[in-house]
Structure 1
Amino acid sequence: MGPVRNTSMPVLVLLLCCLCLDSGSALDTITSFQPIRDSDYIISNGSAFKLGFFSPVNSTNCYLEIWYNKKSVLPTQWVANKEKPLKDSSGFLTTSEDGNLVILDGQKEILWSSNVTNSVANSSAQLLDSGNLVLRESTTGKIVWESIQHPSDTLLQGMKFSTNVRTGEKVQFSSWKSPSDPSIGSFSSDLQPQTQSLVQIFIWKDGSPFWHIGPWSSRSSIEKPEMNSIYHDKFCLTEDEDGTYYFSCSYVSNSLFHYVMTTEGDIAARYWYYEKDDWGILWNAVKSECDVYGMCGAFGSCNSQSSPICSCLPGFEPKNTKEWNRGNWTSGCVRRTPLSQCAVVNSSIEAVKMDGFLKLKRMKVPDFADSSPAHENFGGSSTKSEDYCRQQCLENCSCIAYAYDSGTGCMSWTRSLIDIQKFSSGRVDLYIRVTYSELDKVGDVKKVVTISVIIGAIFISICTFLLWRWMAKQKVKVQELPLFNVEKLAKVTNNFHLSNKLGQGGFGPVYRGTWSDGQEVAVKRLSKASGQGLQEFMNEVVVISKLQHRNLVRLLGCCVEGEEKMLVYEYMPNKNPHKEKLLDWRKRFNIIEGIGRGLLYLHLDSRLRIIHRNLKAGNILLDKELNPKISNFGMAKIFRSNEDQANTSRVVGTYGYMSLEYAMEGRFLEKLDVFSFGVLLLGILSGRRNSSFYHDEKSMSLLEFAWKLWNASNIVALIDPIIYEPCFEMEILRCIHVGLLCVQEFAKDRPIVFVVISMLKSEIVDLPHPKQPAFIERQIALDTKPSQHRQRKCSDNNFTITMVQG
């Protein structure tokens, strides 16, 4: 018998090699020994992004691309060989002998290279979880090239585009030529630093300005405040020592969220809407014709709400009247009367005829601004700062306009005023320099307008009063909403018998009724003693009749006869067994998530953009499957699409669920509902009522109690013992963390509802540390001060229809 050979080691080696070859597409690294071919791909270590070859829709060309790994239908985030596509499937990606990352075709011709001049051999490329493809030296691990320095049409988290004012070198992102052709299109975007403190962002179309935003301070733009409210100071503009300005964006981590430049030249902020399995748009640059650069020419102002959209600034007239009247505004406007102050020698006689300024409110400021930060805000006094700006401009004969912003300082203009736009809210006031004769004309016009407005207001008030009186006596007519008479509703509720009474709120009592076919309904009857009236009743009818969502209570009809006003809803059965058996952790989380979905629909996805203003436990009803439904829209506020906040002199709601800025200042925005949701969330998880609305100095509010436990690292003590199980502890603590983020004192610190839902679903892994909540005791202390400017209509939340409690 011959010698026995040990074959186990070679077989093992062969098996490992086969496994490596089979799993090569799952690696995150590329070397000369591990290239990527047509059907291969690599995935980042955390499975966030994928890199491989891909053909766009309606194209046979092949490109090396990076895209989101979670959804194969999501668009490309980066393209390497966008100008030189592969024509077949024979190409591959590898590292070359000189250490560069290259794409080779079937004949091993280089179609694309990282073009690093001082690279070394045996380098490797790695795809990171940020979507960044990096090329490293094998020996030192030093990054010598990265894809985020060469963006395509998308700006991901952590990406930067920049401009060096000394060398002129730029990093910009550009549109695709078409949806099926990723080569460089007609549009690109970059930074344009004008002065040391003023930086603008431009979109260019074939080298000419197409859109601009600015000036930009370190974290926000004075012209797009809605961007700041969405991203909460997540923009960053920085400058390094060599004169390079960088602009970057940091979004919530692990979210399918990015900027993209479309083939039409728009920049859109997009997020993946999981429930609809489609993209949602949070913000876009070009919303109307007025956003196009220089639409109305020099000294022209654009207002998308007016017809025609272009008008000349005060003191100016069209340069070419015929073209202007035909809708061709490109020639712009010219000054009617030349400025006089600098044309004469100053004297006591001429001093009374000095030039002045006309104020234009809520404007997008023109391009080509000069800055003057030397006044240093005069110790924080904006009035003195504006006076300083005015005086500086008045003393400079070349200055034709100025503006002031607390974050940017003084801005002045000495050249033609281009790309001015009028808005209905936000932005800054622009002051246009005119001769004294133009100021007199404006004064006369103001007198005429004031008298006309007073007369018109009186007339409208009379008509409104008569209309209100008529509506109070007539039946409400709402499209597609059934109307019921008092007799029928009295019959189905057994003449509103106490045995059918379900509960009572600020509106009035609610009764159970049964139609003849056995269907049960809830009849909400306005009480004569109620603090609410026709306004709240009509508001609820108009709002909820246009809403359709599984987490909003459905309005079946209404009744208005004489003094009787009633609403008929779908019935939410209150047949709950003992709470210990009913509301376990899973059921409570489903309730929390359902409330969040309903709130997201109100804020973002409904036909009307609605802020509820009275979200509390008593206004959350449960159906027989324990699905939550938001109810009581009598205090809801409808916003237009271009509004992001408003003020009211009539504060309504429930103490304990009100945010500080709303309770004290009457200022409300979407973050008011986020605050209320946070209080509701903490109440559901703890099984405790929020007692902060009681004027008892010894009582501790739910928010204060939760915050003290958080600071003591004992937040587990907040959890309702009924739902506590060790296996659920991390999920429950995460929800408490989200609740504390929702109730932070300052609105800018609270996340929007979309982000809240992503946090609850753990789509966002890393949560920020919460800041101190707005304790309601502070609100009550402030509320004791006398005020003649605010009305408050608040309930004690003593009565509810269906309680959502631990």
Structure 2
Amino acid sequence: MDEDSHDEEKHIWQSFDYPGDNIIPGVKLGKNLVTGREIYLTSWKNSDDPSPGEYAVRFLMVKDKYPQLYLWRNNSVKIKRFGPYNGVEFSGQTIYNDKDKDIMVLNQKDMHLQFMHNSTMFSLMLKLTPDGKINVSTLLIHNHQWTYYDVFPYDKCDEYGLCGPYGSCVSLTPPYCECLKGFQQKESSSHNQTRACRRTRPLDCGPREGFFKFSSMKLPDTQNAVYNNSMSLQECEVACKNNCSCTAYANPNITADAVGCLLWFGDLIDVRVYQATGQDLYVRLAASELLDTNSKFHRTKRVNITITLSICAGLAGLIFALYIWTRRKKGSDVEREGRPRTVVDKDNKSSSKKENMELPLFSLSQIYRATNNFSMENKLGEGGFGPVYKGMLEGQEVAVKRLSKSSRQGVDEFENEVICIAKLQHRNLVKLFGYCNEENETILIYEYMPNRSLDSFIFDDTRKSELDWSQRFHIIYGIARGLLYLHQDSRLRVIHRDLKAGNILLDHQMRPKISDFGLARMFREHENEANTKRVVGTLGYISPEYAVNGQFSIKSDIFSFGVIILEIVSGQKNRCFVDEDRQPDSLVCHAWRLYTENKSLDIVDECLRNSCSILEVMRSIHVGLLCVQHRPEDRPDAQSVIDMLGGDDGLLPFPEKPGFFIYTSEITSNTVLPSFNDLTLSQVYGR
């Protein structure tokens, strides 16, 4: 701080103290509490008039309060709140790579934020426009050209206080407000339409009051909060519990030495859910509200235990009957693909049956009631398995998947899906709630995905603009996380074998979940690949070694994932792609040619070109091409994909020609194609 004072005496004027409407790395925003000088951004009046305009980006700094950065209009109306600062950046506002960091200084003499950027390949500039937007541009060092990169605010949910006190904005397209747990919508008069939530049950400051944890949140406005930089999270909870006026607490710091305590007193304003970069918020609730939550949990647990015991009792009798029947029919088992019909290994089939039955079994009458007798109004779509219906089962929205009698998939796939997915629990895999097998009906019950499947967005000209680049990149990353779990982190290694855009479902926050495990195969830890005479999957996503030789492994799924990456970036289907000369081609081959000509950005979806992150797009295309290389051993595994997608400026290996390149792009009239195994194709339908 002394050096800053010395500099002030030495310099009469310096540009970094008056940034105007833009900021570059090294510039500080904040206030010198000794001299009173404040540094902040101001917009131009219009594009031709550099005099101060309506908008400003500046701190609201009050003594003993946690400082926050706001976008203001006329220095009085809050348009957007950035933050709060979490020790690395402003919560939810990731615009740099992992090496970059915002530096916050808080002391008795100075409060400021210094914007730092350490890349050797590009630089960043933030500009406040006359209409109140913050444009982010990149300067590529090798050609010294500025390129549009991103824009703030991102969406309607960024509007300050959109959902009112104790309300949370939980989705992006369109914004959707809901009250936090323990609160309900207030009755509003006709002349006052402001959203507001009130407590379902009042606080009484009793000893049994407690806190409910909300995850992935943008922490509330800290104007009515007190900050202590030395308290642990446990000490923070005790401090809030002992003060009847305290409504919530949190640790704003996400760094390794994460200490610090924010205590809120009064309403919680400007809360939203982030897809990946939020923090934990602990909100005070009445004892009866917490008791209801625990009671519901225990009731559900008791019901599950009762169902499980009943099923086990019935299963014991069934196993005994099967044992007698098997003794009489010994030697007559029909093998499928050189393996038992239970799909898993020979010595593990009985345990798999048990795990199959651990899922809740619902009656057909329950399913009828849940779907209104499979009414057409409730039908969501149809796939290779059969129709899918929306339903309400035990107070929860579900998707009911009904095996069609004419389906080319059958009982084997049904059993395979139940056994496989019962073993899997991950945030990027669809959750199976239960099943029904009664009166020749074969039914699976899944969690309901309100935004249906990925292909219903990226391949639909009227809807693709609803998925901006930030969302698409999070979807790519989420699919990769799901594959890492399937291939490496789950108890048994799982090869999906039908990974495609239609089998990626999107929840209300646009988080991706891999679905449809009817064709999946499970390996033990020491197994890496297998062969089959029956190739299954969807054309356009099947790897060369699988289609030609029937050989599949985790690298088969990686090939499919590479195709999905390129489809997400381009908004084009791999098999239906037509090049600029109106010649049929594959998207994969077209992307590889553009890459070799240094024209990769030509493949980007038109609706993304003015708002995407160029560096993330280029890296995604590069990773996609690495995934679709012809030789399985050249393709990265899921962990490497994640590292590359989230990596720094390090160079990636040069991709080789993709699989099927010669067949889709270099075929002549005399070319003899190799013979393919018979394909069992999974149809592409929306959910």
Task: Answer 1 or 2: higher relative contact order, Cα 8 Å, separation at least 6.
Answer: 2
Give TM-score, length-normalised by structure 1. Answer: 0.43
Bigger Rg, which one: 1
